Structure 1
């Protein structure tokens, strides 16, 4: 523990306004609003399959991270004598493992797997390391939290990425549903409201994926590009870009409305919180694409 405290105090000793701004930006880059916007753009506008794959690695990692936190119940370094923590308003819940670090690792590892481009590897590595270090610099996590956030993010992302490829290629919805079993079992182990809420996101995603795949079948620019030669139809390309902007605006606005409405009408009991997050995820994955179809934005 003394080694970990000394590491945090070292980062505290090098703080200055420029580094403060840099590490705040890095840590904010992996918080919920930013991740929602980036995944929404990918899924609704750029590539449905890539977006589905990204979501299928992100959501289970978030659920797993929450479950481990609620099981281990490790305290954060916030309040440790001689340590001044920054941006503590977003450092909620338990400490181990770092949620920001695991989410950033998952997000960028997924993009590396999807695109397999040198610049993505370089940028991804910078972001993964940067976000992890930012949690130490801000004094809101122990080094072991960050290290395990990196490890869990890489390992589980590879597992769920491979699983998604199998499910999507074979349309094996039963296998997809079977992945819920260990998550359900863990409910009775941790007995945590936070875990059950996040589990609702996973259930909503899986149901939304099946519904979209079987009944909605909307297209994104990567699929559209196969049907139209943009070299000869630049006006069509511009039209699709405009349509994608409309898609994002409609999607994010209605998703926010659903979130606010459910926050207002749902009782504060754990079952209803599970239902709320299930509906939010289901709407984002299947409801918004269905809206695109209805409004001729698909």
Structure 2
């Protein structure tokens, strides 16, 4: 770890309040609350198809990240003599590859690939680089963790989006079931709490997508726009109002489901074996993502918001 530790020690030597604030911001922007809000805005409000593809890429990429982490079991640099790691509460599990970096890379690569806007490219590249460097600056990952996470995030984003294109066009749900089986087998044999959580994310998305696509089929376009491409400008304002209401309904209902399941989980895992705890957490994340993908859209249809 010689040269890698040298890099971390150099970044530690240039720390100051401003840089620490900047790189903490980049780390925070890759964490669950921010990514949930951003994907919710895309999926519920801006472009349903782009949101589905982004979520599929994230769920698949994070499963692979957690699987590699728990298989390789690389220790973090935290605790290394002379190194002061910051924000260690965000550094859970093993080190290789970096989960924060791969999350940011997957999300922003997917967004850039799907929307192809110059301003999104600028923000995306900045966020991808910032997320990776922030994990080194904070001293919670080795440089190789970040480099590999960048590579995984870029390659897996494109692969999963192309795969989802085929699934969505052909309605071949057996591929989703097959992936669930593969990820489930890997989760069972590799193990680890974070891998069970990520498998729950993928299961929730796969089941939610199939249910939403078959029975709900909400749209991110306003009814007026779908029926009349020459609609007056006021209809766009009405559409924006519906989008804002969809986000409010979606995020509040998702938070309510998450808090309820947290309460249930806290009461179920008392004095339980590790395997049972992992299964409970898997089910929690499955239900949360299922709600975001299918439950919230069902509410949109019920309240005539989609």
The 5-angstrom pairing of residues 9-158 of structure 1 reads 9-158=9-158
Instruction: Tell me the equivalent position of 2:205.
Output: 205
Of stretches 213-222 and 53-62 in structure 1, the one that deviates more from structure 2 is 213-222
Following the alignment from structure 2 to structure 1, what is the Cα–Cα distance between the partners of residues 223 and 137? 43
CA RMSD of aligned residues (A): 1.5
Matched, 1:279 2:287: yes
Following the alignment from structure 2 to structure 1, what is the Cα–Cα distance between the partners of residues 224 and 290? 24
SS in 1 for 2:83: coil
What is the TM-score with the length of structure 1 in the denominator?
0.95
Instruction: Tell me the equivalent position of 2:247.
Output: 248
Following the alignment from structure 1 to structure 2, what is the Cα–Cα distance between the partners of residues 133 and 222? 41
Following the alignment from structure 2 to structure 1, what is the Cα–Cα distance between the partners of residues 125 and 141? 20
Matched, 1:227 2:227: yes
Instruction: Tell me the equivalent position of 1:260.
Output: 259
Q: Structure 1 residues 121, 241: CA separation in 2 closer, same or farther (over 3 Å shift)?
A: same
Instruction: Tell me the equivalent position of 2:236.
Output: 237
Instruction: Tell me the equivalent position of 1:288.
Output: 296
Q: Is the 8 A contact 1:216 1:290 kept in 2?
A: yes
Q: Is the 8 A contact 2:74 2:95 kept in 1?
A: yes
Deviation for aligned residue 1:146: 0.3
Deviation for aligned residue 1:223: 8.3
Instruction: Tell me the equivalent position of 1:297.
Output: 305
Q: Is the 8 A contact 1:73 1:94 kept in 2?
A: yes
Following the alignment from structure 2 to structure 1, what is the Cα–Cα distance between the partners of residues 222 and 64? 31
Deviation string, structure 1 residues 205-234 (Cα, Å, up to 9, x no partner): 0011011111101110388644343x6422
Q: Is the 8 A contact 2:70 2:190 kept in 1?
A: yes
Following the alignment from structure 2 to structure 1, what is the Cα–Cα distance between the partners of residues 83 and 100? 20
Q: Is the 8 A contact 1:45 1:220 kept in 2?
A: yes
Deviation for aligned residue 1:171: 1.3
Of stretches 261-270 and 141-150 in structure 1, the one that deviates more from structure 2 is 261-270
Structure 2, unmatched stretches of 5+, are: 270-276
Q: Is the 8 A contact 2:98 2:141 kept in 1?
A: yes
Following the alignment from structure 1 to structure 2, what is the Cα–Cα distance between the partners of residues 223 and 132? 42
Q: Is the 8 A contact 2:222 2:239 kept in 1?
A: no
Structure 1, unmatched stretches of 5+, are: none
> What is the total number of aligned residue pairs between the two structures?
297
Of stretches 140-149 and 178-187 in structure 1, the one that deviates more from structure 2 is 178-187
Q: Structure 1 residues 174, 44: CA separation in 2 closer, same or farther (over 3 Å shift)?
A: same
Q: Structure 1 residues 221, 164: CA separation in 2 closer, same or farther (over 3 Å shift)?
A: same
Following the alignment from structure 2 to structure 1, what is the Cα–Cα distance between the partners of residues 132 and 154? 13
Deviation for aligned residue 1:185: 2.1
SS in 1 for 2:305: coil
